[in-house]
C-alpha cells in the first residue's frame, strides 16, 4: 500500500518538476532569445515601397509589415501561419434601403371617394361650385379696390397722427426721466462695481501667489540633489538601452535636396551628427539645386528582453528615482 502511495507521489513530483522546468525554460527563452528586426525601403523614380519584419525564436513568431503601391499590410504569424491581419478592417457593405411602395391611407381613399358625390350633389342642387364663387368674389374685389382700401388707410393715418402728437407731448419729459434713471443706476451701482473689482483683484493676487509657490517648489525640486542623481541615472540607462536597441547594421544611399542651398546645408549638418552610427555604410548625396528625396536603405538589429528588464530593475531599486516618481505623482 505504501509503495503505491509513494509511486503516486513520485509521479506527481515528476509532473510538477516537468511543468516547472518548462516554465523556467520558457522564461529563459523570453529573456535571453533576442527579438530581431530588419527593415528595407526604397524610393526612386516610379518605385516607392518599404518592408519591415520583427521575429523571435527562429521566426516562430513574426510580424511582417509592408507598404506597396500606397497600401499598408501588417500581420502576426506563428510558424508561418497568419494568426491575425492587423490591417483587415472587416468592412461590411450596407444594404441600400428598398423604397416601400406608396400605399394610400384610408383618409386619402375617403377624400378621393368623397369628391365625386359632392360634385354630383352640387350639380343636382343647381349650386355653383366653390371655385366659381371664389372667382366671382375676386372679380368684384378687382372692380372696387379703392373703396375697400380707403377706409383702413384713413384709420392708420389718424392713428399715426395721434401717436406723433403724444410723442411730442411726452418726448421731453420721458427723456428727462430716462436721464434721471441712468444717473440713479450709475450711482447706485458704484458700490457693487467696487466690490466686484475688489474680488477680482483678490483672485488675481491669489493666482500670482499660487504661481509663485509652484515656481519655488519646481525650482527646489529641480535643484535637489536626489533629483539630479535620478536624472543622471536615467540618462545613463537610456544610453545603454539605445546602444543595445539601435541597428547593428545599416547600409544604403540617400539623395536629398531643397530649393534653398542654406537649408540643404543645415540638414546635411544635422545628418552629420549621426555619422558615428552609420560611418561609411550610408552614402549621403546632397543636391543644392533642386528639391528631391530618393534613395535606398537597409537596416537590421536585435534586442534582448533581459537587457530591458535589467535596466528597469536598476531604476526601480534606486531610491532617488522612486523619490522623483512619488513627487511627480503628487503634482
Query: CB burial class (10 A; 0-12, 13-18, 19+) of residue 290?
Result: exposed
What is the rounded distance in angstroms from the CA atom of residue 296 to the CA atom of residue 49?
10
DSSP state of 217: H
Bridge partners of residue 62, in order along the sequence? 55, 77
Domains in the chain: boundaries = 33-86, 224-330
Query: In a structure prediction context, what are the per-residue pLDDT tens digits for the chain, which is 331 residues long?
Result: 678 888 899 999 999 999 999 999 999 999 999 999 999 999 988 788 999 999 999 889 999 999 988 889 999 999 889 999 988 754 333 334 444 444 444 445 444 444 444 444 444 444 444 444 445 555 554 554 444 444 556 676 767 666 666 666 566 667 777 777 888 887 787 888 888 888 888 888 989 999 999 899 889 988 999 999 999 999 999 999 998 998 888 999 999 998 888 999 999 888 888 877 776 788 888 988 888 889 999 999 999 999 999 999 999 999 999 999 998 888 6
Beta bridge partners of 298: 40, 251
Handedness of CA 122, 125, 128, 130 (dihedral sign): negative
Q: For cell 536598476, what's the residue?
A: 314
What is the pLDDT at residue 167?
Answer: 63
> How far apart, in Å, are the Cα atoms of 144 and each of 132, 148, 149, 152?
19, 7, 9, 15
What is the arrangement of strands in the sheet containing 81-85, beginning at the earlier edge strand? 81-85, 71-78, 61-68, 47-56, 35-44, 292-303, 249-257, 282-287
- C-alpha distances in Å from residue 152, one per residue of 200, 306, 310, 313: 59, 99, 98, 96
Give the pLDDT score at 146.
45
Q: What pLDDT is stored for residue 181 in this prediction?
A: 81
- Is there a contact between 267 and 255 (Cβ–Cβ < 8 Å)? no
Which residue from 93, 82, 324 is spatially nearest to 227, judged by alpha carbons? 324
52: DSSP letter: E
What does the chain come to in residues?
A: 331
Query: Residue 247 phi/psi, 5° resolution?
Result: -60, 140
| Residue 28 pLDDT | 92
Look at the alpha carbons of 181, 183, 184, 189 in this order and tell me if their dihedral is positive or negative: positive
Spatial distance between the Cα atoms of 271 and 264, rounded to a whole number of angstroms: 11
Q: Residue written as cell 411730442?
A: 168
The answer to whether residues 307 and 241 touch, using CB atoms and an 8 Å cutoff, is: yes
Give pLDDT, residue 170: 62
- Could you identify the residue written with the cell 528615482? 321
CA distance 295 to 43: 5
Give me the helix-helix angle, 190-223 and 225-245, nearest 10°.
60
Identify which of 54, 90, 82, 50 has the alpha carbon closest to the alpha carbon of residue 66: 50
66 in the Ramachandran plot: left (φ > 0), alpha (ψ -120 to 50) or beta?
Answer: beta
Residue 66 in contact with residue 50, Cβ under 8 Å? yes
Report the C-alpha gap between 119 and 124 in whole angstroms: 9
Q: Would you state the cell numbers that stand for residue 78, as one nine-digit string?
A: 506563428
Distances, alpha carbon 106 to alpha carbons 114, 115, 185, in Å: 12, 14, 66
Q: What is the 3-state secondary structure (H, E, C) of 211-239?
A: HHHHHHHHHHHHHCHHHHHHHHHHHHHHH
Q: How far apart are alpha carbons 94 and 227 in whole angstroms?
A: 58
Amino acid at each position: 500500500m505504501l509503495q503505491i502511495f509513494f509511486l503516486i507521489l513520485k509521479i506527481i513530483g515528476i509532473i510538477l518538476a516537468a511543468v516547472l522546468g518548462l516554465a523556467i525554460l520558457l522564461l529563459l527563452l523570453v529573456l535571453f532569445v533576442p527579438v530581431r528586426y530588419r527593415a528595407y525601403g526604397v524610393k526612386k523614380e516610379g518605385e516607392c515601397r518599404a518592408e519591415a519584419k520583427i521575429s523571435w525564436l527562429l521566426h516562430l513568431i513574426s510580424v511582417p509589415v509592408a507598404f506597396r503601391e500606397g497600401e499598408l499590410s501588417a500581420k502576426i504569424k506563428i510558424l508561418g501561419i497568419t494568426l491575425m491581419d492587423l490591417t483587415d478592417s472587416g468592412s461590411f457593405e450596407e444594404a441600400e434601403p428598398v423604397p416601400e411602395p406608396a400605399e394610400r391611407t384610408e383618409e386619402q381613399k375617403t377624400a378621393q371617394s368623397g369628391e365625386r358625390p359632392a360634385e354630383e350633389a352640387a350639380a343636382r342642387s343647381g349650386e355653383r361650385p366653390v371655385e366659381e364663387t371664389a372667382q366671382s368674389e375676386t372679380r368684384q374685389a378687382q372692380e372696387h379696390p379703392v373703396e375697400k382700401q380707403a377706409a383702413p388707410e384713413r384709420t392708420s393715418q389718424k392713428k399715426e397722427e395721434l401717436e406723433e402728437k403724444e410723442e411730442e407731448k411726452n418726448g421731453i419729459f420721458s427723456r428727462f426721466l430716462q436721464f434721471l434713471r441712468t444717473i440713479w443706476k450709475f450711482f447706485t451701482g458704484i458700490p457693487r462695481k467696487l466690490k466686484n473689482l475688489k474680488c477680482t483683484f483678490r483672485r488675481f493676487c491669489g493666482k500670482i501667489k499660487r504661481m509663485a509657490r509652484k515656481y519655488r517648489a519646481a525650482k527646489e525640486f529641480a535643484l535637489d540633489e536626489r533629483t539630479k542623481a535620478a536624472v543622471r541615472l536615467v540618462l545613463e540607462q537610456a544610453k545603454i538601452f539605445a546602444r543595445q536597441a539601435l541597428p547593428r547594421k545599416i547600409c544604403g544611399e540617400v539623395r536629398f535636396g531643397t530649393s534653398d542651398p542654406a537649408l540643404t546645408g543645415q540638414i546635411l549638418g544635422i545628418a552629420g551628427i549621426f555619422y558615428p552610427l552609420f560611418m561609411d555604410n550610408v552614402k549621403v548625396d546632397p543636391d543644392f539645386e533642386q528639391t528631391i528625396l530618393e534613395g535606398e536603405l537597409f537596416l537590421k538589429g536585435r534586442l534582448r528582453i533581459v537587457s530591458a528588464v535589467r535596466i528597469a530593475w536598476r531604476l526601480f531599486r534606486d531610491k532617488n528615482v522612486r523619490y522623483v516618481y512619488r513627487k511627480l505623482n503628487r503634482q
